[in-house]
Amino acid sequence: MKKYRVGIVGIGAVGTEMVKILRQRNFPASEIIFLARSERDEEVAGETFHVAKACPEAFEALDFAFFAGTEGAKGASQLYGWEAVKRGAVVIDNGDDFRMDDRVPLVIPEVNPEALENHQGFIANPNCSTIVALMALGPLHRANRIKRLVVSTYQSVSGTGRNAIIELEEQVKNYVENKPLVHEAYPHQIAFNVLPQIGGLKKETPGYTSEEAKMLFESRKILGDNDIRVSSTCVRVPVFYGHAESINIEFERPMSPAEAREILANADGVTVIDDVAKAEYPLPLNTAGTDNVQVGRIRPDDSTDNGLALFVAGDNIRKGAALNAIQIAEKLIEMGM
């Protein structure tokens, strides 16, 4: 089997998870190197790596370059993404700098792998909340066109990065010890609270934040339908790992909960957990560290024609970021690059 030289730009939560997944899935990597702002040795997922300083020349002879920043870490792919492509690497970018670029496919391998067919060496990972939602919505849309979505997200602090994880830990500890709760990662205390703002305001979508705009524009691009109407409210919650979302769907024609369950039960990367009588439904806690997106609470939405409501949860660092990127690389290898 052919082996590939792999570079990971960024050594935070997503980069660490990428190493774990590359090993777990036996990805055919002849070498894994880390690139970051400064040169050093670092232990990642139980292995010691020499971290090289990121520069254009560092991408020479790489087959894949994963840009592993979380949503809060921007700019690396702006500096080095197309430089890496020029040097022969296929770039898979977890950031949002190029997601809506016409040159760049935005891909969830289980949903729109065909978008990879004419790639120009640069592929974007969708936003974590978009991936979690579309793992369920993609199979349903193929069966019955979606006309409108109303999405409310419950997003964990790991989506912001390691500093936010530490901040939540410290706030909980200080609350128990009756000490002041300091906040820096967020504009308000996150422990025992919810924050109905993720990102700044977007001019293109007045009143909506950048995270909410991503749900609109990314969903349309991935599903290939610019007529889908989307209204979303993105909320940060005091959970370490795992995003959950409440989704109300308007379809082109009626779809029963039973039909939706059957479609989702046969969808790759999806697990249906849907028995309220037994208190069985998707939980972020249960998705942490797992690959599949869970779907449940599937029921009619009688507030609109052809309506359906459901609840989803998935690991935002794993399927929402690191795993999806590696699956893109695996799909490219399967397609012969």
Catalytic residue list: 128, 243
The distance in angstroms from the start CA to the end CA of the chain is 14
What secondary structure does DSSP assign to 283-317, as a single string? Answer: -HHHHTT-SSEEEEEEEE-TTSTTEEEEEEEE-TT
Identity of residue 267: A
Q: What length does the chain have?
A: 337
Query: Nearest CA to 240 among 174, 156, 313?
Result: 156
Both structure tokens of 313: 């949860």
- Our measurement of the distance from residue 322's CA atom to the centroid of its chain's CA atoms, rounded to an integer in Å, reads 8
H, E, C per residue of 155-172: ECHHHCCHHHHHHHHHHH
Write the CA distances from 275 to 71, 167, 244, 248, 249, integer angstroms.
34, 35, 17, 19, 20
H or E, element range at 84? helix 76-86
